[in-house]
Structure 1
């Protein structure tokens, strides 16, 4: 049997730090310490060539359980729907009105952070309700 591998989730984006800090707030993640020898991320960034400054950023689960999220600057903008997206599990174990209330409460928390509400998908007999949203650069995710 193959061993379980660690992985990170990588986002292509225009503004890596902005998108990373959004996801820190959504997931309760934190910015990791700067590389050895640097007192801050700003100091590290200033040590890079100008074309590499602001080109990448990361955030991590402070408990060490969840995957690292990595954000890298790319020249092209988002053009189509994501093939992979995150489901932010805020309604686990809830059904009906309780689930909808949990989804709506999280949506209300995320909109001031820059998220956009796209549409509510109501329970259909086989799947529970979920709320489709977009992050600060238009990447889709679901409140599930």
Structure 2
């Protein structure tokens, strides 16, 4: 038997801060909220569940895995840059930090590096 369903788990210092941030980013709904854990799910049941667990150690190095938030799918050039910028501004208001903008290079389209409120890297793609 092969498992096909999965969730993405984030270690964090403040699940009650990081979890609601990702609910807003992705349009998810909270399903579990305790002092040590916060979970949220796609209301349509299509995308994976996210779980945020309180851990004692802080983030030290770059993430080995990150989420790409797909806001520019199918867009190119200035239209894509405008979509990335609009979402970046929205997420900054929620506590995200802007990173480096990687501009299209003929092979890859533009994407915006970001960090969530605890410094976990993600991309607006």
Which of the five TM-score ranges fits, normalised by the shorter chain? over 0.9
C-alpha deviations, 1:91-130, integer Å up to 9, x for none?
0000000000000000010001000001100001110000
The alignment's TM-score, normalised by the length of structure 2, stands at 0.96
C-alpha deviations, 1:68-111, integer Å up to 9, x for none?
00000010100000000000000000000000000000001000
Q: Which one has the bigger strand percentage?
A: 2
| Alignment: residue pair count | 125
Provide structure 1 residue ranges, at least 5 long, that are not aligned to the other structure.
35-40, 46-53
Describe how 1:1-144 pairs up with structure 2 within 5 A.
Answer: 3=2, 5-32=4-31, 45=34, 54-144=35-125
Provide runs of 4+ in structure 1 moved above 3 Å. Answer: none
Bigger radius of gyration among the two: 1
